[in-house]
Chains A and B, each alone.
Chain A
Amino acid sequence: MTASALPVKAVDPTEELGKELDRVRSDVIAARGADDAHYIRTVIAVHRGLETGGRLALSVSLFPPAWCAGTAMLTVAKTLENMELGHNILHGQWDWMGDPAIHSTTWEWDFATPADAWKRTHNHLHHTYTNVVGRDRDLGYTILRMSPEQPWHPVYLLQPLYAALLAPVFEWGIALYDLEADAVADGRKSVRSFLGDVAGLARKAVHQFAKDYVLFPLLAGPSAVPCLLGNLTANALRNVWAHTVIFCGHFPGDVQTFTEDQIEGETRGQWYERQIQGSANIDGGLLFHVLSGNLGHQIEHHAFPDLPSNRYGEVAPRVREICARRGLPYITGPLWRQYASMWGRVLRHAVP
Chain B
Amino acid sequence: MKRIISMLACAALLAACVHPEAEPEEVPIQPETGEYLGVVTVEYSGTSFDNESITVLFQPAEDGKTASLEIKRIKFVPAMPVTIDVTIPDVELTSTSEEIDLVCGEVIPLAMGGEYPRYIVTGLIGRIVGDEMTFSLKFGDYPTTFRGVLQH
Are A and B genuine complex partners? no
